[in-house]
Amino acid sequence: MARQKVKALRDDIYQAPHLDRAKERLRRAMEQLADCDPALSKFREETCEETLSLYHFPLHHRRHRRTTNSLERLNEEVCRRTHVIRIFPNRDSCLRMVASLCMEKSEEWETGLRYLTIEKLG
């Protein structure tokens, strides 16, 4: 099955307005995939239900939680910083630098730009 078709099915599922609609779209997508690619259909059926936990978040939070952008950005920053240093004197120095970046990012997420707020959970 064409990659674009699978992506369109996936996007349709995760853009559903609520959990029941997402499950219905998932069921229909699995029927379509079963004809074209039974192995992919089986894999998605076994793993997709877990990813629907996104729907337990309020609508405001879903847009931010359905991607791994924040994690990917952190990994990019770690790579950028380690590339600049190039050679660490030992393993612990590398670990300290990465831990420092993680703590810095955590503090930024807690006090800086807060797009996931407790107030909007209620």
Residue in the block written with tokens 């730009």:
113
**Both tokens assigned to 15:** 């853009």
pLDDT, tens digit (0-9, with 9 covering 90-100), for 13-66: 888 888 899 889 988 888 887 877 778 777 777 787 777 888 887 777 776 666
d(CA 63, CA 60): 7
Domain coverage including residue 71? 65-121
pLDDT, tens digit (0-9, with 9 covering 90-100), for 68-94: 777 788 889 999 988 888 889 999 999
Burial call 68-80: b when 16+ CB within 10 Å, e when fewer = eeeeeebeeebee
**pTM (predicted TM-score):** 0.53
pLDDT, tens digit (0-9, with 9 covering 90-100), for 56-68: 877 777 766 666 7
Q: What's the pLDDT at 107? A: 81
End-to-end C-alpha distance for the chain, whole angstroms: 41
Sequence-distant (≥ 6) Cβ neighbours of residue 32 within 8 angstroms: 9
User: Which of 59, 1, 27, 2 lies closest to 12 in space, CA to CA?
Assistant: 27
Pair (72, 116) in one structural domain: yes
Pair (69, 117) in one structural domain: yes
Pair (8, 49) in one structural domain: yes
Q: How many domains does the chain have?
A: 2
